[in-house]
A and B are shown apart, each in its own frame.
Chain A
Amino acid sequence: MLPKKITLNLFSIILLIALMLSACAPAATPAVNSGDVPETGDTIVIGVYEPMTGSQAAGGQQTMQGVNLAYEQKGTVLGRPIKMVLVDNRSDKAESATAMTRLIEYEKAVAIVGSYGSSNSMAGGEVSEAAGIPVMGCSPTNPLVTEGKQFYFRACFIDPFQGRVMAKYAFEKDIKKIAIIKNISQDYSVGLAAFFRTSWKELTGSEDGIVADVNYQDGDQDFTAQLGAIKDAEAIYAPGYFGDAALLMKQAREMGFKGLFMGSDAWEAPELISIGGSAAEGAVFSSHYSAEAATTAASKPFVDAFTAKYNETPSAMAALGYDAYMLVVDAIERANSADPKAIRDAMAATKDYQGVTGSITINETGDAVKDAVVLEVKDGMFKYLSTVKP
């Protein structure tokens, strides 16, 4: 090859880089206009960042079912059309932060919904905080997500409460021997297991009832070795995602485990039953709402509309996605403005909002305070058992 060609190559590449950089920033103007309201014509832009690809794609895709339904039902606010923009964060922290800046700087979003996965949310939260754009998290339950953040809120309850709900359930059922099996590489799972343990200690005065505490990791599908060690427990508490949980229940029953399975809100997905099959029967878990018990007036219409649109029962993630979007719209309405600061104040002041997943009040740390329900798998359906107050 001739040197000339190479140099030409080099030049064209550098030119290309420059072009591309300018392409992703038609608004590469000085960023001093952050004070005024970012208005794009008449539309109001609500950004959504979710993991649509990568290891957490399942959760992101479930969440988007709910968000899309909400967008269909509520496409205008303050008489102006809403433009919802979804950016994929690839289940990746660095990309979550980039996605968030894109929503803020390029799409000019006034408020943002997301993200599934606390890890992604924490990365996005640093950016939104600096830019002063309010975010409504749908399902990140790690307490660190809103800790110290003025602009990050969430529609879900946090891990400490949920851990207590199931500890209380086990205590009331008079269960004496509980084994915990958690996904040690998921903050969600680690957090819930720890809070379950703490609550159990508060209730019974000791940790003796927890006979075992074993771990697995992301991507593990074989739990037989762990289960062999905890087979004699009366109940297994397995806070984790529905896919893992379904496999775990199946394997435990195959190995002859007779006790009770207890879990958390990430279990609420149709796949828990379709994968778990008969092994999932009788499993009990904490979650946000039940169509049966009609947590609020909004629950039933949501379930009906969702089933009509997708031909399946909504998962907890979908319901939270729906609520998060609606909470943002509600905040814009109450703020009566598309100014991010005003929306933030309205969000923080949310009180007794009648969401699908319950009556939501945002507390001083930015977390939703609401009831939890305990659900049971019965005849291939999620049945309502009881409601637990915060």
Chain B
Amino acid sequence: MTFDQFIQNLANGISLGSLYALIAIGYTMVYGILRLINFAHGDIVMLGAYVAFYGVVMFMLPWWVAFPLAIILTAGIGVIIERAAYRPLRSFPRINLFTSAVAVSFLLENLGNVIFGGRPKAFERPAFMDIALQIGEASVLSYTPIIIVTAAILFAILIYIVNRTKVGMAMRALSKDIETTGLMGINTDRIIMFSFMLGSALAAAGGILWAIKFPQINPLMGVMPGLKAFIAAVLGGIGNITGAMLGGFLLGVVEIMIVAFFPDLSGYRDAFAYVILILLLLFRPTGIMGEVQAEKV
């Protein structure tokens, strides 16, 4: 493999990884607070992409209106799901919450299938994302750096919210102990709602960026990214935001690099993620950053 090819693969790996990371953060935030594996998260990703798609195609909105609007609407849907399907079960065993999440996921996928149709739709990239950039021998379209930069900005905003604002402080307190936090006079319901909003907004952003990178959307598009992002979250130490980011990038780069170096193993690609995961968990059962409690949300 030449150096240029390596750079090209690295760029692809990082942009894929930043998408995994964005989606993984939603998983990790919800998990940190509710100890819930929110399997509907991948379908929120799908919703985000579809809302943006319809904003552009049906309502003729320019992308800079449609995309933020899609993120807001999807965040709203996330809140509704939390209120309707998760809050009533909060005091019950976690498997109930998990099953509820699975049912919500079924519902979103099947609704998507009926409302949007099962056939994939073409997602139009805004023109400025389609400019070819030449780095040595390697060529990269401008959306690759745009995705990475956008993801970085979103990470920065999130870290600011979690570490520097009052809501963030409440979220951190909640992840340590819901009950005690409530006793301190914090409205836990509202904070949990806020985390779902934040997580869903990031998922929607992830969905839109995903659709920009892979401009084909269908009702099941969120399943694989959702699962991979979940793996990324566990890799990083589930419940840990920095860990989720790290896990996302790691997974993206490793997936691309293994296939790039060993094309003969390409049929096993989906298994890599799990093999890495299981090996890591065996040696470090709490993930890469699992033991560092400081940033646990």
Q: List residues of chain A with CB under 8 Å of any chain B CB.
A: 52-53, 55, 57-58, 60-62, 184, 212, 214-217, 219-222, 224-226, 228-230, 242-243, 246-247, 250, 254-256, 269, 271, 274-275, 277
Contact = CB atoms under 8 A, between A and B. Distances in A.
B120 A58 contact: yes
A247 B216 contact: yes
B285 interface: no
Interface stretch (B5-13, B26-34, B156-164): B5-13
A108 B232 CA distance: 51
A254 B133 CA distance: 10
B270 interface: yes
A255 B135 CA distance: 11
Contact of B214 (A222, A225, A277): A222
Contacts of B191: none
Contacts of B9: 224-225, 228
A224 B269 contact: no
Given A256-B139, A274-B122, A226 B263 contact: yes
A277 B219 CA distance: 21
Given A216-B266, A219-B224, A222-B12, 11 more contacts: A53-B113, A58-B218, A212-B263, A214-B266, A217-B267, A217-B270, A225-B266, A243-B216, A255-B139, A271-B121, A274-B121
Contacts of B269: 215-217, 220
18 contacts: A52-B118, A57-B118, A57-B119, A58-B120, A58-B218, A62-B119, A184-B267, A214-B266, A217-B267, A219-B223, A219-B270, A221-B224, A225-B266, A228-B9, A250-B215, A271-B119, A275-B120, A275-B215
Contacts of B12: 222, 224-225
B167 interface: no
Given A61-B117, A220-B270, A255-B139, A225 B260 contact: yes
Contacts of A55: 220
A246 B213 CA distance: 13
Nearest to B259: A225
Given A255-B8, A275-B216, A58 B260 contact: no
A247 B263 CA distance: 19
B226 to A, nearest CB: 10
A243 B117 contact: no
B255 interface: yes
B263 to A, nearest CB: 4
Contacts of A57: 113, 118-119, 219
Contacts of A221: 214, 216, 221, 224
A293 B139 CA distance: 39
Contact of B119 (A61, A212, A229): A61
Closest 9 CB pairs of A and B: A57-B118, A225-B259, A219-B224, A215-B267, A229-B263, A274-B122, A221-B214, A275-B122, A224-B12
Interface of B: 5, 8-9, 12, 16, 110, 113, 117-122, 132, 139-141, 213-216, 218-221, 223-224, 255-260, 263-264, 266-267, 269-270
A226 B255 CA distance: 11
A270 B151 CA distance: 33
A280 to B, nearest CB: 11
Contacts of A222: 12, 16, 213-214, 255-256
Contacts of A184: 267
A225 B121 CA distance: 24
Contacts of B221: 221
Given A184-B267, A216-B266, A220-B270, A225 B256 contact: yes
A250 B211 CA distance: 13
B255 to A, nearest CB: 7
Contacts of A254: 132, 139-141
A228 B258 CA distance: 12
Nearest to A60: B118
B18 to A, nearest CB: 13
B51 to A, nearest CB: 19
Contacts of A274: 121-122
Contacts of A275: 120, 122, 215-216
A242 to B, nearest CB: 8
A275 B118 CA distance: 15
A220 B213 CA distance: 13
A256 B136 CA distance: 12
A58 B118 contact: yes
A246 B257 contact: no
Given A271-B122, A275-B215, A215 B266 contact: yes
A250 B118 CA distance: 22
Contacts of A230: 263
A220 B141 CA distance: 20
Contacts of B141: 254
Nearest to B219: A57
Contacts of A219: 220, 223-224, 270
A277 B215 CA distance: 10
Contacts of B5: 228
Nearest to B258: A225
A207 to B, nearest CB: 15
Nearest to B119: A58
